[in-house]
Homo-oligomer: A and B are copies of this chain.
């Protein structure tokens, strides 16, 4: 925690407008239900309006002052983005001291940028390039020829295998593995012979890869994660996958080999895609959904095998009424039988 700031000071930092008492001192930011008079809170979803009105928070970040009359407010177009900035203000990241920790094992031929830091218990291979103000935390292992851009943050115990490249401002969370071999075998008479995986992984700028996620190197060429894409924990990205820019891949989703994903697409939790597919731009695969064939731009896919969400929901509804349908069919059969009997009696 840093010292407190006035609403006016925060407004200046955020480019926000103060409504109410700009002199009010704020010591931190908290959710509506945990904030006190010394805290700023935030309302970015109207469904929490009552909670906001009832919150003892000293001030609230809102999009429109009309939402909360008679309260001290910071008004801005993007309250949640403002929350991110205020968190940086009150929780500044401690940057480790620059240079190589004495316990690190580092090849003589590496290139270390100004302000860069290589932490304890690390192992850095031959010909590695580490950009300016980049942080390699404790226990990381970088293979030969790995290239890290500027202002990269590797959390503890990340592995980046030989030759892989990480762009500027990327973040890799603990335990992630970048550049493991793809699952490639030539099977002859039931025996699986390893196909050497000689490609690399490229993370473009501003990519974040989270904890214990695995990204396989290409068999040949590149597995590539597009600029600004964020990948959650325990996600699997197979060899030669191409993920476009500004995508979100949520936890435990998995993308099979050589599949391409267009920019601004989303895979929700535990979703998946088969291999060698072409997934368009702005595609959303909902939780547990699986793309088993290529899908055009803007598709919302649900279920397994994945179908357009509207169709999937209709089918789900029909399945739910299925026992009723079967009862109805049985009833109709009885009515038909009685009609048929009448017919015979007439004859």
Given A198-B87, A236-B233, A332-B332, are A220 and B122 neighbors across the interface (CB < 8 Å)? no
- A188 partner residues in chain B, CB cutoff 8 A: 78, 81
- A196 partner residues in chain B, CB cutoff 8 A: 84, 87-88, 91, 93
- A256 partner residues in chain B, CB cutoff 8 A: 251, 269
The answer, among B30, B192, B340, B342, for a CB contact under 8 Å with A248, is B192
A101 proximal to B (CB < 8 A): yes
Q: Number of residues in A with C-beta < 8 Å to the partner?
A: 107
In contact, B177 and A212 (Cβ under 8 angstroms) = yes
Q: How far apart sit A185 and B329, CA to CA, in the bound complex (Å)? A: 49
In contact, B84 and A192 (Cβ under 8 angstroms) = no
- A270 partner residues in chain B, CB cutoff 8 A: 254, 270, 272, 290
Q: How far apart sit A315 and B305, CA to CA, in the bound complex (Å)? A: 13
Q: How far apart sit A174 and B140, CA to CA, in the bound complex (Å)? A: 11
A53 proximal to B (CB < 8 A): no
| Copies per assembly | 3
Of the candidates A193, A236, A343, the one having the most CB atoms from chain B within 10 angstroms of its own CB is A236
- A323 partner residues in chain B, CB cutoff 8 A: 314-315, 318
In contact, A186 and B329 (Cβ under 8 angstroms) = no
- Of the listed stretches A2-10, A64-72, A109-117, A152-160, name the one at the interface; the rest are far from the partner chain: A152-160
Chain A 303-337 interface residues, beta-carbon cutoff 8 Å to B: 304-305, 314-316, 318-323, 325-326, 328-329, 332-333, 335-336
A21 proximal to B (CB < 8 A): no
A191 proximal to B (CB < 8 A): yes
Q: How far apart sit A195 and B44, CA to CA, in the bound complex (Å)? A: 14
- A274 partner residues in chain B, CB cutoff 8 A: 269, 287
